Structure 1
Amino acid sequence: MNQITNVYVWDMDETLILLKSLLNGTYAEAFSGVKDAPKGVEIGKMWEKHILQISDDFFFYEQIENCNKPFLEALSKYDDGQDLSDYDFKQDGFSPPHDDLNKKKLAYRHRVIANKYKQGLHNIFDQEMMDLWDALYNMTDEYTDRWLSSARAVLEQCISGNEDPTFCLPASSGIVNSNRTGSSHINVLVTSGSLIPSLVKCLLFRLDSLISYENVYSSWDVGKLQCFEWIKGRFNNRNVRFCAIGDGWEECEAAQAMKWPFIKIDLRPSSSHRFPGLSLKTVGFYFSVVYGNPDSENDEE
C-alpha cells in the first residue's frame, strides 16, 4: 500500500487564532450585539502588546524587524555552526544583511530563535509568567466560544488522521505517521505577518507542538503563491495531497493556482467553516473532491 501524505496549509490570523478581528471589532459584529465588543478590543490589545514585547525581548525582533525572511532556514547556508553560547548579539555590529557577514549574523539569530521555539515557552518564562499566559489564553478562548482550543483540536486531529482525540499524538516535528491508516499528516503555516512575531504567536497560542518551526512561512515579502510553491517543492510526490485553509482572498487565489482544495474560514456563528465547527470530516470532503478517495486512505471518513 502506497503511503498517502496529507499536507494541511493553514493561514494564521482569523483562522487558527483571532487577533485582528478582536482589535477591529469584526468578530463581535458577527454576533449582532451579543458579544461585548470593547472587551474583545481589550483582549486583542493585550495580545498585541505582549506579542511585540516578547518578540523584542527574546527573539531579536527589534534588531531584525527590517530583515524579514520567509522562513527561518532561508539563510542557513551562511551559518558556519559557530558555538553561540558566549556570543554577544548586542555587540556584534549587526545591520541589515546587505553582505555575507551580516547574513551570517542574521543566520545566527535565526538558529537561536529556532532552538527557543523547539524548547518551548517553559524554557523562557517562569511559572508565574506561564500562569499569566494561561489566564489570558483561557479568557480569550472563553470570549471566542472556544475558537482557540477548537482550532488546536482540529490541528491535532489532522496530524493524527483521526477525529478520536485518543489517537492525537502531537510530535515536535509537526509530522505524524499513522500506522492505523498507513499515511502521514503535516501541518504547515503560511501567514501574511512577519516571521518572528508569527513564530511567537505559535508559541503563545499553543501551536508549537503541532507546527514545527521549519513549517512556518511568512508571505509578507514574497506572497502566498510563492510560499505554496515552495511547500509543494518540499513535499511533492504523486502520493502527496495538499489542502489550504484560510480566511483571505490571497490564499484562495494561490490555492486555485496550485489546483489545491481551499476551505474558507468564516467568522459568522452560523457557519460550519469556523471554530468550533470545522471538522476533520469536512476537511476530508474537500480532499476527496479534488483528489478522489483512494481505497488505501480512509482516515477522513
Structure 2
Amino acid sequence: MNQITKVYIWDMDETLILLKSLLNGTYAEAFTGIKDVQKGLELGKMWEKHILQICDDCFFYEQIENCNKPFIESMTKYDDGRDLSDYDFKQDGFSPPHDDLNKRKLAYRHRVIANKYKQGLHNLFDKEMMAVLDALYNTTDEYTDRWLSSARAFLEQCLAGDEDPTLSQTAAGGIVNSNDTRIRHINVLVTSGSLIPSLVKCLLFRLDNLISYENGKLQCFQWIKERFNDQNVRFCAIGDGWEECEAAQAMKWPFIKVDLRPSSSHRFPGLTLRTVGFYFSIVYGDPDSENDEE
C-alpha cells in the first residue's frame, strides 16, 4: 500500500489562537468600529493572567524560565527513569543545567510537564476553576466570531483529511482512498514563544489533544524536514508572520498567510481543506494524478 504523509506546520500565535491582537487592539481595529476594543483588551489580560499563573503553579516555569528548550523531549537522554512520586522538586538544588546532574533534574521536570500535558487541564483543576476557564474561552470565542473553535475544528479536519467524506474512508492512522493510497496527516506547532507558556496555551485553548507535546515548539523548519524526512512527505506552513513565510520559501514549501480581516478567506472561520489542498497542488503537483485524496 502506498503512503503519503501530509505535515501541517501551524504557527500558534495569531493563527490558531488570538492573544496579542486582543491586547494591542489590532483584532478589533480590523472590523473598523464594529468590535469593542476595550473588551478585547480585557479578555487578553485575563488570558495573560491565567497563562502566567498556570506556568508558575503547575509547570515549574519560575524554576526553568532561563532553561528554555526547543521541545519537551530535548532532555530525555538525561532522564534515568527514576520514580518521581516522592521527589522534592523544591529542595533538589536545581540550577541552570550546565552539568549532567542539573540536566537530569531538568529532564525530570520535563517528564512531569509532559505527563501533565497528556492528562489535560481537568486533572489540574477543580470544577470551579474549569468553569472559569471554559467561560473565558466561550466569551473569547464569541467575541472573535468563533475563531478559536473554528481553528480547533479545522485542526481536526486536517488530521482526518476529510475534505470530502464521500471520497475517502477513515483508516487506522490515516485515510485510504479508492486506489489504496494511505494518507497520514500530522499537525506540528511552531512558535517564537517559550516552551512552557506555549504548552500552557495549547491546554487553555483546547488544542492539546490535536497537538501532541512531541510536536510542540520546533523553531527551525529544517528540524521538521529532518524529522519527517521521506520522499512521500509533503509540507504546508500556515501562519500570520513574515518569519514563517520566509522559512517556508527557503524550504520550498507552500505557505498560507492567515489574515485577521473579516473579508479574508484565510482566517477562522473561513479556511477550508480545499484551499489548503490547492496550495499543496501548486508545489507538489496535481494530487489527483498521484492518488491523493483531495
Short-chain TM bin: over 0.9
> In structure 2, what is the Cα distance between the partners aligned to 1:98 and 1:258?
33
Q: Which runs of 5+ in 2 are unaligned?
A: none
Q: What's the CA shift for 1:297?
A: 3.9
Q: TM-score w.r.t. structure 1 length?
A: 0.92
- Residue 254 of structure 1 pairs with residue 247 of structure 2: yes
For residue 182 of structure 1, give the secondary structure of its aligned residue in structure 2: strand
CA distance in 2, matches of 1:49, 1:16: 19
Please give the secondary structure, in 1, of the residue aligned with 2:217.
strand
TM-score normalised to structure 2 length? 0.94
Give 1:98 deviation, angstroms: 1.1
Alignment of 1:276 onto 2:276: no
What does the per-residue CA deviation read over 1:204-250, in whole Å, with 9 as the maximum and x for residues that have no partner? 1010111100000153xxxxxxx211111111101000000000111
Aligned length: 288
Give the secondary-structure state (helix, strand or coil) at the position aligned to 1:49.
Answer: helix
Q: What displacement does 1:298 show? A: 3.7
- Paired position in structure 2 for 1:36: 36
Distance 2:218 2:22 in 1: 22
The aligned residue for residue 51 of structure 1 is 51
In 2, Cα distance between the equivalents of 1:200 and 1:151? 17
* Paired residue type of 1:299: E
Distance 1:123 1:297 in 2: 43
Q: State the alpha-carbon separation in 2 of the partners of residues 286 and 271 from structure 1.
A: 16
Structure 1 residues 63, 286: closer, same or farther in 2, change over 3 A? Answer: same
Q: 1:239 aligns with which of 215, 220, 232?
A: 232
AA of the residue aligned to 2:139: M
Structure 1 residue identity aligned to 2:257:
K
Partner of 2:119: 119
Aligned to 2:72: 72
Q: Does 1:299 align with 2:286?
A: no
Superposed counterparts of 1:206-221, under 5 Å: 206-217=206-217, 219=219
Following TM superposition, by how much is the alpha carbon of 1:163 offset from its aligned partner in structure 2, in angstroms?
3.4
* Cα distance in 2 for residues equivalent to 1:119 and 1:18: 24
What is the root-mean-square deviation of aligned Cα atoms in Å?
1.8
The residue type equivalent to 2:176 in the other structure is N
* Residue type of the alignment partner of 1:100: D
Q: Distance in 1 between matches of 2:193 and 2:113?
A: 17
Conservation of the 8 A alpha-carbon contact between 1:157 and 1:164: no
SS of residue matched to 1:75: helix
In 2, Cα distance between equivalents of 1:297 and 1:195: 38
Q: For the residues of structure 2 that align with 1:187 and 1:202, how far apart are their CA atoms?
A: 13
Shift of 1:100: 1.1
Instruction: Give the structure 1 partner of residue 96 of structure 2.
Output: 96
Asked if 2 retains the 8 angstrom alpha-carbon contact of 1:160 and 1:168, the reply is: no
Residue 137 of structure 1: aligned partner: 137
Give the C-alpha shift of residue 27 in structure 1: 0.3
Distance 1:165 1:95, change over 3 A: farther
Please list every run of 5 or more consecutive structure 1 residues that lacks an aligned counterpart in the other structure: 170-174, 220-226
CA shift at 1:4, angstroms? 0.6
Residues 275-294 of structure 1, C-alpha deviations (whole Å, 9 max, x = no match):
11111111111001000133
Once the two structures are TM-superposed, the CA of residue 271 in structure 1 deviates from its matched residue by 0.7
Aligned equivalents of 1:64, 1:168: Cα separation in 2: 45
Q: Which residue of 2 aligns with 1:86?
A: 86
Q: Residues of 2 paired with 1:298 and 1:78: CA distance?
A: 41
| Shift in Å, 1:145 | 0.2
Deviating more after overlay: 95-104 vs 31-40 = 95-104
Partner-residue secondary structure (3-state), 2:44: helix
Tell me how far apart the structure 1 counterparts of residues 5 and 140 of structure 2 sit (CA, whole Å). 33
Residues in 2 aligned to 1:114 and 1:211: alpha-carbon distance in whole angstroms:
12
Q: Can you list the C-alpha shifts for 1:57-97, whole angstroms capped at 9, x where unaligned?
A: 00000111111000011111111111111100000000111
Match of 2:176 in 1: 179
Letter aligned with residue 89 of structure 1: F
Quote how far apart the aligned CAs of 1:168 are: 11
Give yes or no for contact 2:169–2:175 (8 Å, CA) kept in 1.
no
Q: Tell whether the 8 Å contact from 1:188 to 1:211 is kept in structure 2 after alignment.
A: yes
Aligned residues of 1:95 and 1:102 also touching (Cα < 8 A): yes
